[in-house]
Amino acid sequence: MNLLVSTDWLAAEMGKTDLRIIDATLFLPAMARNARAEFEAAHIPGAVFFDIEEVSDTSNPLPSMLPPAEKFASRCQALGLGDGSRIVVYDNSPLRSAARVWWMLNLFGAHEVAILDGGFGKWQAEGRAVESGKPIVRHRHFTVWADKALVRDMGQMTENLRTKAEQVVDARGAGRFTGAEPDPRPGVRPGHMPGSRNIPYSALFNEDGTYKPPAEIKALFDAANIDLSKPVTATCGSGITAPVLAFGAALLGKTNVAVYDGSWSEWGAHPHNPVVTGA
């Protein structure tokens, strides 16, 4: 299974006993939309809803932080996701939140995970079948595992300012990165980490929500002076869109891009962390 699968491919594979489909739609509060309600109104047949906000470390004041491995495995089992499953993730969100769940699944030990190119929007635009309601699933075993090589914390990001061992690429929009726009979170300063580069996650997509061809994605990394032959860590506002850049790099063959889970909602809120404004 490729990392990126088409709607034609998914339609042809539906019904296979090892295939699992996840709706990973997430909206910000300001969007005034309810992802679970929209899922129950219409989703790809056989899909289950992955609640990113709930499958998180809910004891952490930061948004949508990674949950303990045991919680992640438990939630996956309840969704019918298990060892040996081929998993296709999609979303219907401007945040392209399928990439967050793709990253989480890889971090917690799933072996075959793909993203549906164009997501639910493309599926619907093509007039393909949808269903409504809550799916009935059978629990499956999901082995507890966590590959912490794919995640960074604030201490590691601070140490990287000294060592410069890893390139840091920021997925936020240019206005947020430069500090020209205020951060939407109270108490979070605008700007970016010293030495980080900017590739807005939205730049990786065509107008129809499909990913751009690999050559165009590679050109984005090149333009930001990110060398994919060297270590890379992605960051964003709250850890949701940074995985889009990690996925884009994976499409180019670099599958080990780490994500700073706390991202700017953590970094920019700490008064002692250095912050840079401007391009």
Picking from 55, 64, 106, the residue whose alpha carbon sits closest to that of residue 239 is 64
Q: What is the pLDDT of residues 127-137, one digit of tens each?
A: 999 999 999 89
> Please, are residues 126 and 7 in contact by the beta-carbon 8 Å criterion?
yes
Instruction: Please give the pLDDT value at position 70.
Output: 95
Instruction: Please give the pLDDT value at position 69.
Output: 96
pLDDT band at 205 (very low <50, low <70, confident <90, very high): very high
Q: What is the pLDDT of residues 171-183, one digit of tens each?
A: 999 999 999 999 9
Instruction: Please give the pLDDT value at position 106.
Output: 96
pLDDT band at 161 (very low <50, low <70, confident <90, very high): very high
> Please, are residues 44 and 54 in contact by the beta-carbon 8 Å criterion?
no
* Mean pLDDT calculated for residue range 180-201: 96
* Mean pLDDT calculated for residue range 147-151: 94
pLDDT band at 144 (very low <50, low <70, confident <90, very high): confident
End-to-end CA distance of the chain: 39
For residue 57, pLDDT over 90 is answered with yes
And the tokens for 169?
């690429």
* Mean pLDDT calculated for residue range 210-214: 98
Which residues form the catalytic set? 236
Instruction: Please give the pLDDT value at position 99.
Output: 98
Instruction: Please give the pLDDT value at position 279.
Output: 84
Instruction: Please give the pLDDT value at position 115.
Output: 98
Tell me the torsion sign for CA atoms 1, 94, 214, 64. negative
Instruction: Please give the pLDDT value at position 215.
Output: 98
Instruction: Please give the pLDDT value at position 101.
Output: 98
Alpha carbon distances (Å) from 169 to 20, 158, 196, 216, 262: 31, 15, 6, 17, 14
Instruction: Please give the pLDDT value at position 239.
Output: 97
> Please, are residues 166 and 231 in contact by the beta-carbon 8 Å criterion?
yes
Helix spans in 95-213 (H)? 98-107, 119-125, 154-163, 174-178
What is the average pLDDT value for the chain, to the nearest integer? 97
Q: Are strands 232-235 and 258-260 parallel, antiparallel or unpaired?
A: parallel
For residue 210, pLDDT over 90 is answered with yes
Residues of the chain with pLDDT > 90: what percent?
96
Instruction: Please give the pLDDT value at position 264.
Output: 98
> Please, are residues 53 and 26 in contact by the beta-carbon 8 Å criterion?
yes
pLDDT band at 78 (very low <50, low <70, confident <90, very high): very high
Phi and psi at residue 87, to the nearest 5°: -115, 130
Q: What is the pLDDT of residues 220-258, one digit of tens each?
A: 999 999 999 999 999 999 999 999 999 999 999 999 999
Give the sheet arrangement for strand 112-116, strand by strand.
4-5, 112-116, 86-90, 19-23, 47-49
**What domains can be seen in the chain, in order of their start residue?**
4-146 (3.40.250.10), 149-267 (3.40.250.10)
